[in-house]
Amino acid sequence: MYIKHIVWRRVIFGQVRRLTLGMNVPESSKKFKKLRADHALEWGNNNENPGVWSDFVGLEKIPVTPKYFSVPLDNSKNNLKLWQGANDPRGNKVKISQRLWTEPGDIIDIWYLGTMKLLNELLEGFNETEGASEHSQKLHQYVSQRLRALREYKGNLYEWAKDTQDQFHELILNPDFLFDDYFIKTRKAFIEHNYFLVICYEDENGQKFNHALMANIKDSNLHPVLSSRIKGSCGASEINQFVG
């Protein structure tokens, strides 16, 4: 099997926190509710279209929202929805739709699982500090319980992710600790060692297929083809290399 080309995007704290945006929070949590307007993840460079996505979209331009370009993923129930932002100060970057708390069609199975694992690790560490509260502990209990429940879904990762997101709506807690500067600063680095990937493979019959994956750049088991290419916050690389 050959890896033809890849695109990557560093995972950021805000993307992990995005999982929680469906929670039932107090009216006073204006900062939390404001985040719900941020329903996409930027994945590209300023004023480039298709930019890093050129190997996946060909000569087509990625449309401006509300239209989108659909990249098929062979290991996810949902395709990846790409659209170009219309925001000059932000560089009109290409984005992927991530309104997880209201749109199950935005869930990319393996990314959801990987991000939940990061959220679990993040909360586990925080709850060992003096900043821990009943709210952070309640959220951690829910996240760890849902990770344990995965085995009940017999490999149906999408249904597990969808149910997990639906049940976030039933959580009632104060999310202020998710905005604590110390909390973010001390846990930012380990999150940003992780990347979302989209990889185009080609089999021995010349058939191409796309997979969404996650990778930790510090993982010694990461394939050297990937570890040697993934750099910076986002990018793309044509590889054309046999990987077995």
Cα 111 from Cα 114, distance rounded (Å):
5
DSSP SS3 for 135: helix
- Over residues 48-101, the pLDDT tens digits come to 999 999 999 988 899 998 899 999 999 999 999 999 998 899 999 999 999 999
Q: In what order do the strands lie in the sheet with 80-84?
A: 40-42, 94-97, 80-84, 69-71
Cα 93 from Cα 87, distance rounded (Å):
8
DSSP SS3 for 197: strand
Q: Within 10 A of 146 (CB to CB), how many other CB atoms are there?
A: 19
pTM of the model: 0.95
Chain position carrying tokens 């039933």: 170
HEC profile of 147-158: HHHHHHHCCCHH
Contacts of 18 (CB under 8 A, 6+ apart): 35, 38, 98, 100
Which of 26-30, 47-51, 95-99, 165-169 has the lowest average pLDDT?
Answer: 26-30
The number of angstroms, rounded, from the C-alpha of 117 to the middle of its chain's C-alpha atoms is: 12
- Over residues 119-136, the pLDDT tens digits come to 999 999 889 888 889 999
Contact 44, 234 (CB under 8 A): yes
